[in-house]
Structure 1
Amino acid sequence: MRFYTTCPPSTAYDAQSYPARVSQVARWSEAAGAEGALIYTDNSLVDPWTVAQMMLMETKRFIPMIATQPVYMPPFSVAKRIASLALLTGRKVALNMVAGGFPRDLQALGDDTAHDDRYARLEEYCHIVQAMLRGETVTLSSRFFRVDNLRLMPEMPRALLPEIFLSSSSPAGRETAASLDATPVSYPSPPGERPEDPEQRPTRVIRIGLIARDTADEAWGLAGQRFPKDPRGSMMHRMATATSDSQWHRQLTETGARLAQSERSTYWLHPFQTYKTFCPYLVGTHAEVAEALADYREQGVDGLILDVPATRDDLVHSARAIALASDALIH
């Protein structure tokens, strides 16, 4: 199973320490066998393209997965940046296409586009970017974009064309991913479940956090230290749930409400429910985490986007559990 990590958000660090942390996580991730790292974008964060360039400079094979939102940048600018990085570094990037965002961020930008319409806009946006990267001259007059004989220079080497990832928790997201031949991303239900609703089934790539250690006591002790009980965080999660129209957010919230979880259920939503992160976690021994991952693999999952690593050990142990899951499937 291939995996990406996630770059730390700039809001968690000061200006002096953040660049060093980005470089550190990039080197850790590459050493652990990650293909690359997801770089978030929203109104409060530093420019993800600048962060991506830093990560490219600190690594040899690493692929930054850059979150890209149509409201922030026209399609020509995205294609130009991809081609420029390819020319200057000989390296490729990946794109994590973002249709929406935090409601207040969108409001501040004057974007009141409805949920499904945001995916329609994203589809047109990506088609323009993809066509330019293939060397095509693009003419389009549509609801969201208008370009006339638009062509990209410098030309993009075919070997460095980016893989596109796209959240596919809603019908609109799945349809858009299929139209773009993008890699769909979702947030999984507990391992062992086989949801009848297609919206609840995992896609090829899933967002997940891992805390795996030699013993369950060690793993859960670390999980409790890293994500303690937090009434204020729980309140912020409830407020976000009330205002968000994201399908994946609603699905995870509903999953947490129906689970009567014990303290040691491998599938753990506490970090999500206390507004500390935006994905489920798997917690336990290497074997327990590997068993859960192997179950997802049997459902068609072949890739992971892991949560932000807190330490280098996190990645070492995560890579061990992923390797155990892959080995179990082979044998």
Structure 2
Amino acid sequence: MDFHWFLPTNGDSRDIVGGGHGTPVGSAGGVRQPTVAYLSQIVRAAEQLGFVGALTPTGAWCEDAWLTTAMLASVTERLKFLVAFRPGLTSPTLAAQMASTFQRLSGGRLLLNVVTGGESHEQRQYGDFLPKDDRYARTGEFLGIVRSLLRGETVTFEGAHLHVEGAQLSKVPDVAPAIYFGGSSKAAGPVAADHADVYLTWGEPPAQVAQKLDWIRSLRPDMRFGIRLHVITRDTAEQAWAEADRLLRGVSEEAIAAVQAGLARSESEGQRRMLDLHGGNRDGLVVAPNLWAGVGLVRGGAGTALVGSHQEVADRIEEYAALGIEEFILSGYPHLEEAYWFGEGVLPELARRGVWRHPAGDGVQATSAVPFAGVPIAAR
């Protein structure tokens, strides 16, 4: 199994930072600004601790993923960058050229996270007025062109949404970047089956995840699967749940109401499934063993966290792995410190069980070699 961390390009905090599907822009900006210096600390720590990559989000609520990761590639050696981007906001030929350049100049460290876009109001900010199902159809055309170009083919294509003639790349990467794709709606499945290397789901309870994976397997039996979760892990379960309680105390009823009102307008089926886990209510947030839905009260997108001792979190990871999940994309508040808790607590436990090993090779320990201090943050 592989583990990825997350780059908080909307800012970071010891409280839950808003962002993602339907969350009002600027509703919960971080105290730690997403400077190159701070993000560099996170990626260096993630690389050293044993994460193979770092997801960088896309949207009107955060910094641009391509530019940010290009700046951070030079401060890392092994870490890959899972760059989220939206088909339809740029031409497929330009996107293929950008991917090829990044892949070659970074030494093969690009991964592509395709975000079709579940919010029409946000898409319209970028000049995209297609309805949701048409956006999925366009994504299929887009990825077909991009994959052909990255294989070195010359492409002439005229579809319902995209048209290129004689498109080609002057330089093709030795290895095309893997494509990660998520979507819970009926229109998403065939696009994932045709074009994705890894299908992503948000952190639903295991039984619901199993159903979703079975759906995708019925369309593409050899698909690889990943899951997107937050994590709060400590030496003891009591310490972990105390941290979850502290995060919840920092959330006002007004903030919950404002964010939930925005998320209720979301067209995303995945977001609807996240909302169904908690219903906008503080009660009943533990939706499965060690799975807490509190993050989703004030954050769009991934809204659940694994909470518990290092051993308990490792148990839950193995439970998801038994369903077929091979890649875990994680995050926490604040991201630098929570990466250390996971990297120095859960990863060694998984290594001890023989189900994970450090990507840098045998004998490498997930132990602190990067300064832990971070940028000072005001206590709240």
RMSD of aligned residue pairs (Cα, Å):
2.9
Query: How many Å separate the matches in 2 of 1:44 and 1:262?
Result: 28
Which of 188, 201, 218 is the matching residue for 2:239? 218
Instruction: Quote the offset at 1:60 in angstroms.
Output: 0.2
Instruction: Quote the offset at 1:324 in angstroms.
Output: 3.1
Letter in 2 for 1:156: V
What's the TM-score once normalised by structure 1's chain length?
0.88
- Over residues 117-151 of structure 1, what are the superposed CA-to-partner deviations in whole Å (9 max), with x where a residue is unaligned? 21111111111111111100000011111111111
SS of residue in 1 equivalent to 2:4? strand
Q: Does 1:267 align with 2:291?
A: yes
Letter in 1 for 2:35: Y
CA distance 1:292–1:106, change in 2 (3 Å)? same
Aligned residues of 1:167 and 1:173 also touching (Cα < 8 A): yes
Question: For 1:84-163, what aligned pairs fall within 5 Å after superposition?
Answer: 84-153=101-170, 155-159=171-175, 161-163=176-178
Query: How many Å separate the matches in 1 of 2:81 and 2:147?
Result: 18
Question: For 1:1-331, what aligned pairs fall within 5 Å after superposition?
Answer: 1-10=1-10, 12=29, 18-153=35-170, 155-159=171-175, 161-191=176-206, 193=207, 197-198=211-212, 204-227=225-248, 228-257=250-279, 260-261=284-285, 266-275=290-299, 278-308=302-332, 310-319=334-343, 320-325=345-350, 328=353, 330=355
Aligned residues of 2:5 and 2:330 also touching (Cα < 8 A): yes
Query: How many Å separate the matches in 1 of 2:355 and 2:36?
Result: 40
Query: How many Å separate the matches in 1 of 2:6 and 2:94?
Result: 24
What's the TM-score once normalised by structure 2's chain length?
0.78
- Over residues 167-188 of structure 1, what are the superposed CA-to-partner deviations in whole Å (9 max), with x where a residue is unaligned? 1322322221110143100013
- For these two proteins, the number of residue pairs brought into alignment is 328
Letter in 2 for 1:256: H
Aligned residues of 1:294 and 1:326 also touching (Cα < 8 A): no
Identity score, percent: 26
Query: How many Å separate the matches in 1 of 2:243 and 2:284?
Result: 22
- Over residues 160-207 of structure 1, what are the superposed CA-to-partner deviations in whole Å (9 max), with x where a residue is unaligned? x1010001322322221110143100013224x367854798971001
| Higher share in helix | 1
SS of residue in 2 equivalent to 1:166? strand
Unaligned 5+ segments in structure 2 are 12-28, 217-223, 357-380
SS of residue in 2 equivalent to 1:82? helix
Letter in 2 for 1:245: E
